Structure 1
Amino acid sequence: MAKGQKRTQVWQVLRRAVARFNRKNAWVLSSHIAMSMMMALFPFVLFTVSLSGAIASLLSHRIVVEDVVNLVFGSWPPSVAKPITREVYAVLETSGTGLMTLGGILALYFASNGVDAIRVAMLRAYGQEETRPFWKHRLISVGLVILGGVGLLLAAFFELFLPLAARFLGRFFPDLDVLSGWENGASGLVVAVVPIAAVFLYHLVLLPQRATIRRIFPGAATTLVLWWAAGLGFAFYVSSFASYSATYAGLAGAMAALIFLYLNAAILILGAEINGVLETDRAAAAKDTRDA
């Protein structure tokens, strides 16, 4: 296929995805996801810290908390993440860290609401109907929250022990170039992996009719690229033009975070709509082949 034809095809898919996005009132659903994720952030961090207290007794509480918070908010623009992380630390200082308590169970449930909102968006974008019973898809949402907490803890362990291992091996192999650069950890690499893993899991696990990685890749890749661009653009906007403090006073940090989540939710739905368009085209082509 010629480059010009390929560009035209990509543009047509994107145009149809945007049309589907608007037709389904996805902006409204984006606000629902943003609010659900905003409400789920604090319970998720609380649950993850509680989980760390249960399985990470070798590390001090402070180190685990800082690593978890940095991994959760590391991909956010600093101007947006700073006021939210400040409030997260304030909540953690006054909250218990017991995992098997009523508070821990409620934190897990409310954190799963954010994942469940994304499930609804995925269903609408792919044109699927929920055929699983309530307990099953809710259990999947809860499982993804637990998986996310465990994954962040493993990343925190990795981030803590990687510099120690690099320094230890460097004593015996001082001329080994591969060990250089790891003394300060790999937080940037870990932070980059977290959103990539999350996007692919959303597309792979939340739908009743599972698709292959190859089929979900176009929308997932588009989501990640647009997230990166939106993060840079929103950070520039907040630092240069926005005056949330004049409008929302003490709620400025929360409102900036909510708008950032709203933008990211819309991009996530748009990526799913791109895959929905491609799935529609595949189904139409398969039908034409059967009828021929």
Structure 2
Amino acid sequence: MSRVSILSSNQFLRALWLAVRRFNDKDGFVMSSHVAMSLMMALFPFVLFTVALAGALSQGYVTDELIELIFGAWPKDVADPIVSELRAVLAGAGSGVITLGGLLAIYFASNGVAAVRRAMTQAYHDKDIWPFWKTRLLCFALVIIGGAAILAIAAVEVVLPVYTRLVSEKTAVDVDNWLSVDRLRWTFTVAVPAGTVILAHLILPTRRHRLSQILPGVILTLALWAAGGWGFSIYIAQFATYSATYAGLAGAMAALIFLYLCSAMLILGAEYNGALIDLKNAETN
């Protein structure tokens, strides 16, 4: 191994240790609790509004695809109680979910985005100089764009398999064989969290950072999410006794703890990028 690669490896390890220290010094776990609670308050209204709107526009055809898209990357034991409650509410929901409920959903979801933005800005050591109105408009815009993107992806999951089947029937190319519904759904299930993390690092901090600067933290966060989701699903299935402790709130508490862990991993990834940037700046000065 060359000296350059050794130095690079040492730099990444130093940055990881520095990120852990900075995460602890800046009360990262407290900030993770704030982000998790904000996301929990935002999640159900936003998903309820998005799924209800999609169901109304498509006569219910994309409801299952949309729920699978949003919760597909979650541990099954965490997602199932939330999905069950979501379906129960949708079954008896009226037009208010799409009108007044939609406005409230966008507001609460913007609070979740604002909490993530504050944590990311703090992790990158950026000074937040934006006025309140600019921050809130950004959060509203991201919520609306995110909802529209989810609806578009769900529509693609419904329309594209039909199109590929027609192409396969009319031509000699068996398109449906390699572009199956399960493969397409799995691709979107992986791509949506990855794209969300990348955009969170690119857009939410006050300063704009290059893609090369944010990729290490993005990769770290996604790796921790994958390992954490697998480990948490085993813990829920084998060891957790939330039902005995929280009774009917067991599903909500499991989701809240899962979001807490995901928030901590997201913030740690941002701290890792911030530590790398600081180390590189210190070497050049």
TM-score in terms of structure 1 length? 0.91
1:50-84: per-residue Cα shift (whole Å, max 9, x none)? 5436xx73x21x22322222111110011110001
1:85-131: per-residue Cα shift (whole Å, max 9, x none)? 11112222333346873332111101111111100101110111211
With over 3 angstroms needed to count, the CA separation of the structure-2 counterparts of 1:189 and 1:100, relative to structure 1, is closer
Do the aligned partners of 1:51 and 1:149 also contact (CA within 8 Å) in 2?
no
- Alignment-derived partner of residue 94 in structure 2: 96
Do the aligned partners of 2:168 and 2:174 also contact (CA within 8 Å) in 1?
no
With over 3 angstroms needed to count, the CA separation of the structure-2 counterparts of 1:255 and 1:267, relative to structure 1, is same
With over 3 angstroms needed to count, the CA separation of the structure-2 counterparts of 1:248 and 1:142, relative to structure 1, is same
With over 3 angstroms needed to count, the CA separation of the structure-2 counterparts of 1:64 and 1:244, relative to structure 1, is same
Q: Structure 1: which 5+ residue stretches go unaligned?
A: none
- Alignment-derived partner of residue 9 in structure 1: 11
Do the aligned partners of 1:99 and 1:105 also contact (CA within 8 Å) in 2?
no
Could you tell me which amino acid in structure 1 is paired with residue 274 of structure 2?
G
Could you tell me which amino acid in structure 1 is paired with residue 113 of structure 2?
V
Could you tell me which amino acid in structure 2 is paired with residue 20 of structure 1?
R
How many residues of Structure 1 are paired with residues of Structure 2 in the alignment?
282
With over 3 angstroms needed to count, the CA separation of the structure-2 counterparts of 1:237 and 1:269, relative to structure 1, is same
Select which of 152, 155, 170 maps to 1:154.
152
Select which of 122, 125, 146 maps to 1:127.
125
* In 1: Cα distance, 2:265 partner to 2:22 partner: 13
1:12-60: per-residue Cα shift (whole Å, max 9, x none)? 111000000000000001011111111111121133235436xx73x21
Select which of 23, 26, 44 maps to 1:24.
26
With over 3 angstroms needed to count, the CA separation of the structure-2 counterparts of 1:135 and 1:51, relative to structure 1, is farther
* In 2: Cα distance, 1:13 partner to 1:63 partner: 48
* In 1: Cα distance, 2:97 partner to 2:248 partner: 31
* In 2: Cα distance, 1:71 partner to 1:100 partner: 20
Select which of 244, 256, 259 maps to 2:257.
259
**Considering only aligned residues, what root-mean-square deviation do their CA atoms show, in Å?**
1.8
Could you tell me which amino acid in structure 1 is paired with residue 15 of structure 2?
V
* In 2: Cα distance, 1:279 partner to 1:130 partner: 18
- Alignment-derived partner of residue 70 in structure 2: 72
1:157-183: per-residue Cα shift (whole Å, max 9, x none)? 110012111110111223x25541324
User: Does the residue aligned with 1:215 lie in a helix, a strand or coil?
Assistant: helix
**Percent of aligned pairs with the same amino acid:** 49
* In 2: Cα distance, 1:97 partner to 1:49 partner: 13
- Alignment-derived partner of residue 181 in structure 2: 184
User: Does the residue aligned with 2:190 lie in a helix, a strand or coil?
Assistant: helix
Pick which of 207-216 and 74-83 moved more.
207-216
- Alignment-derived partner of residue 79 in structure 2: 81
With over 3 angstroms needed to count, the CA separation of the structure-2 counterparts of 1:283 and 1:10, relative to structure 1, is closer
Select which of 245, 250, 269 maps to 2:243.
245
With over 3 angstroms needed to count, the CA separation of the structure-2 counterparts of 1:242 and 1:100, relative to structure 1, is closer
User: Does the residue aligned with 2:254 lie in a helix, a strand or coil?
Assistant: helix
1:136-174: per-residue Cα shift (whole Å, max 9, x none)? 111111111111111111111110012111110111223
TM-score in terms of structure 2 length? 0.93
